[in-house]
Amino acid sequence: MKKKNNDIITIDLLKKKVNSYTKKDWPIIFKAYNYALKNHEGQKRESGEDYIVHPLTVAYLLSTMHADYETICAGLLHDLIEDTMVTYEDIKKEFTDDIAYLVDGVTKFSHLNFNNKDEFMAMNIRRIIVSMRDDARIVIIKLVDRLHNMRTIEYKKADRQKEIALQTLEIYVPLAYYIGAYDIKCELENLSFMYLKPKEYHDLAKQLNTIYNNNKKMLNKMIQETKQKINNEGIKATLEVRYKDFYSVYKKIITNGITLENIHDLLSIEVITKNKKDCYLTLMYIHEMFVPLNFKFKDFIAKPKTNMYRAIHTTVFGHNDRLVQFQIKTKEMERIATYGLTSYWFRNRNMAKYAMQNDLENNFQFFKSIKELDSTIADNIEFVKLVKRELFSRNVYVRTTSGEVIELPLDATPIDFAYKIHTDLGNSMIAAVVNEKIVSLDYKLQSNDRVRIIKDDSVYVDRASWLNIAVTTHAKKKIMEYIKDTNKE
């Protein structure tokens, strides 16, 4: 995200950005701009600016993420159905079916269809979340839309600011995390933090800025030494300082009860190499230069996070006795880490849409979890509540015997794990082994636990009692289905 806050975006800036990676699509994007300009004519934002500033900025931010032309066009047109006389059919006629579908996907329902505000908000949130199953670009547009609205939230009334900031923190930040859009996630977190807890935000910002300023020379020295070392070994790489975002630091202090001095990744150096082999070689040379903190080493290249983030993290004792984290990745890994699914979509843009969606569901566990909840829960308010609890709250990350990482909500049990892997595994489960020890089925799984399920179809198990043990809605649904089918037999 290059342009921040109130920087003015012009159509010329958008053209320059789009033409930097795809000139052939500019005519239809320019057509979408003129169409939005004409139909938003006379409308103003609460800031007093012409309304076109908002969709133009959304489109520009999407272009910085290398979004395809349909996504950028939808960014320009995304408020037309909701705020003007333009209809879905109008957009479909003027542009393409896909562009019209994307615009419709980010359009809110009318208040007239609902009995109360909570139901209205829940349905719109559900619509955004569930849209990922059909076209992930809808969520990307909505995230960028929310980002620009958060950047200009100072024009709202104080109570409305807090309401929007809280919803952003509870819904949009986790969505950004799950699709791997790190830059958007961090900025949304920090903006929400600033409006929800202004005193804590400014106090922490002051402390962190002091720490960062005091360690700037030390970090630059480490960068120079590391770069010289790996260059001498034939590795070409770019290195730069990365500072942890304010809200992430605040969460660690509140959740873990630790001080700033004890946060091991407060100061970080990012290393971007040419290929995966150079990542591992760079790691070796860094450990030759600086003593590593062994228990703070993580290889997300060999085993990516569930949102497909890949990098090697190692924390070392740097100069002046300060802990410094190195994040080592390739340029492609950095692109995915920064822009998430948009980068993934751009890289595979020649793939058919249905094939892309299937590929995303196979690679991102979040897609499968959303599908499971949507097929189980009819009530919109209950659906949003369960998404917050099971997907957007603190999670645990456990491993199968083959090393695959499985994401589960806090307090999940081996029963939840088994049904997450496969329904048949849950239905034939009789016991669980965690870290080579048999555990009770109500055992609360912890991150990094290695889980093995023992199954035997010939052994009778009272699965009705599991309903009080399982945590996830998916597991409970499958248990109920099993009991119902067994009773029929």
Would strands 323-330 and 395-399 be described as parallel, antiparallel, or unpaired? unpaired
Answer yes or no: are the C-beta atoms of 273 and 328 closer than 8 Å: yes
Would strands 312-317 and 237-243 be described as parallel, antiparallel, or unpaired? unpaired
Whose CA is closest to 150, among 336, 10, 337, 1?
1
Residue 1's pLDDT is 43
Residue 56's pLDDT is 97
What tokens appear for 276 in the block? 């995966």
pLDDT digit string, tens, across residues 412-441: 999 999 999 999 999 999 999 999 999 999
**Residue 419 amino acid letter:** Y
**What stretches of 15-143 adopt beta strand conformation (E)?**
none
Whose CA is closest to 247, among 296, 187, 175, 182?
187
Whose CA is closest to 414, among 394, 402, 396?
396
* Phi, psi values for residue 101, rounded to 5°: -65, -40
Q: Out of 114-128, 265-279, 443-457, 467-481, which region has the weakest mean confidence (pLDDT)?
A: 114-128
Residue 133's pLDDT is 74
pLDDT band for position 347 (50/70/90)? Answer: low
Would strands 312-317 and 323-330 be described as parallel, antiparallel, or unpaired? antiparallel
What are the structural domains, with CATH classification, of the chain?
Answer: 11-196 (1.10.3210.10), 215-339 (3.30.460.10), 394-488 (3.10.20.30)
pLDDT digit string, tens, across residues 108-127: 765 545 566 777 788 888 88
**Residue 445 amino acid letter:** L
Q: For residue 106, is pLDDT > 80?
A: yes
Share of the chain above pLDDT 90, in %: 54
pLDDT band for position 23 (50/70/90)? Answer: confident
Residues labelled catalytic: 82-83
Residue 199's pLDDT is 94
pLDDT digit string, tens, across residues 143-200: 999 999 999 999 999 889 998 998 898 889 988 888 888 889 999 999 999 999 999 9
Q: For residue 5, is pLDDT > 80?
A: no
**Residue 53 amino acid letter:** V
Residue 3's pLDDT is 44
Strand-by-strand arrangement of the 323-330 sheet: 237-243, 267-273, 323-330, 312-317, 298-299
Residue 303's pLDDT is 86
Cα–Cα distances (Å) from 476 to 57, 472, 483, in that order, read 44, 6, 11
Residue 488's pLDDT is 64
Residue 63: strand, helix, or coil: helix
Cα gap 446→434, rounded to integer Å? 10
Residue 2's pLDDT is 42
Whose CA is closest to 472, among 373, 350, 351, 353?
373
Answer yes or no: are the C-beta atoms of 453 and 417 closer than 8 Å: yes
Position with higher pLDDT, 304 vs 452: 452
Q: For residue 17, is pLDDT > 80?
A: yes
pLDDT band for position 136 (50/70/90)? Answer: confident
Is residue 368 exposed (0-12), middle (13-18) or buried (19+ Cβ within 10 Å)?
middle
Cα gap 179→162, rounded to integer Å? 25
Whose CA is closest to 166, among 205, 206, 131, 196?
196
Residue 114's pLDDT is 54
Max mean pLDDT among 208-222, 333-347, 396-410 falls in 208-222
Residue 259's pLDDT is 81
Residue 351's pLDDT is 57
Average pLDDT of the chain to the nearest whole number? 87
Average pLDDT over residues 99-106: 92
pLDDT digit string, tens, across residues 298-327: 999 998 887 788 999 999 999 988 999 999
Residue 356's pLDDT is 58
Residue 292: strand, helix, or coil: strand
Q: What is the dihedral of CA 467, 470, 473, 477, to 10 degrees?
A: -40
Helix (H) or strand (E) holding 130: helix 117-130
Residue 357's pLDDT is 64
* pTM for this prediction: 0.79
pLDDT digit string, tens, across residues 355-388: 556 666 666 677 778 888 888 888 888 888 888 8
Spell out the residues 6+ positions from residue 456 whose beta carbon is closer than 8 angstroms to its own: 428, 430
Would strands 451-455 and 429-434 be described as parallel, antiparallel, or unpaired? antiparallel
Answer yes or no: are the C-beta atoms of 308 and 179 closer than 8 Å: no
